[in-house]
Amino acid sequence: MAKFCNMCGKPLEEGEVCDCQNQVAEAAQTADGSQGEYTAPSQAVTQPQNQGQFNQGQQQFNQGQFNSGAQFNAGQFNQGPSQANAFVNKVLGIVKNPVEEIRNIAYSGNNTDSFILLGVGAVLYIIGLALAMLKLHLKLGDAAKEMKLPYVKYVIMIAIMMVIVDIIAGVMLFVGTKIVDKTANPSMVPVWAVVGLKSVYKGIAVVAGGIVMLLLPWPGFAVMLAGAFVSFVLAANAYCVIMQLDQVKSTYIQMISVAVTVIIAMFCTYMVLETAKDDIVNAAMSIAMSGLSKLR
């Protein structure tokens, strides 16, 4: 009696086993293999394309950042010298024609230039005072090495006090205007402008006095004092011109400002001398103690 396969219905001989299941398994493996061979190239092609697009976008982004940064730095670099030249020209203009330049600064309504001029004056103070301290150090000779005076402290302290005196002088012009002219409506903008003017001119005088002091101490000191007086008169006159005050009121305002400024300047000088005296006494004591220890 003939037998048939229960799966595919193929007739089988006596003892024969149907291999339909093996053929189905081989066909499935063949189909999987062909599908893998087909998909793999697609993935291999797609991944480099995506990676290329990403790299291209990243390069464009980085290049854009670099170009933007380069343009920004170039703009800053080009803007810096122009601002420096404009400021130098402004300082030179103040030296040549102080009243006109200070009037322009005052009418601009911006205090930035005035504060910058005040800073320039402070730097000039430090330079001139450093020259004066150098002369003092040379004058003391060998004793300066043993005394070890704090010259840097003196320079900074005196420069700060000179700036404070300049500011007080400007404020007193403002207060004097309020006292003398009841109808006036003064502003602090011209006050800061004349303070900057006074600082620049007095700073130039201090530097000139320091240079002269290296050769002739007392004439150099006289140059500093004369420069301080001239700078104050010039600044006060510029303020009165800007505020459009008459001669009588201008004189009273300057007298008030001079009186208060001189008192403040004398107080600052006293503080400097007291500090210097203490330092000199301490230095002398240390030298004396050192000498006694050597004698023992």
pLDDT tens sequence across 202-254: 999 999 999 999 999 899 999 999 988 888 888 888 888 888 888 788 888 88
Q: Which of 256, 251, 238, 258 is nearest to 197 (CA)?
A: 238
Helices (H) and strands (E) in the chain, counts: 8, 2
Residue 4, φ and ψ in degrees, nearest 5: -130, 155
Q: Which pLDDT tens digit goes with each residue over 35-67?
A: 444 444 444 444 444 455 545 555 554 555 545
Residue 207's CB is within 10 A of a number of other CB atoms, namely: 22
* Spatial distance between the Cα atoms of 263 and 267, rounded to a whole number of angstroms: 6
Contacts of 170 by beta carbon, 8 Å cutoff, 6+ apart: 191, 192, 194, 195, 198, 235, 239
* Spatial distance between the Cα atoms of 235 and 98, rounded to a whole number of angstroms: 9
Bridge partners for 3 per DSSP:
12
Residue 3, φ and ψ in degrees, nearest 5: -110, 155
Q: Which pLDDT tens digit goes with each residue over 257-291?
A: 888 888 988 998 888 888 888 777 776 676 666 65
Please name the amino acid found at residue 168: I
For the record, the structure tokens of 124 come out as: 């000039």
HSE-CB of 110 using CA atoms within 13 angstroms: 7
* Spatial distance between the Cα atoms of 199 and 231, rounded to a whole number of angstroms: 8
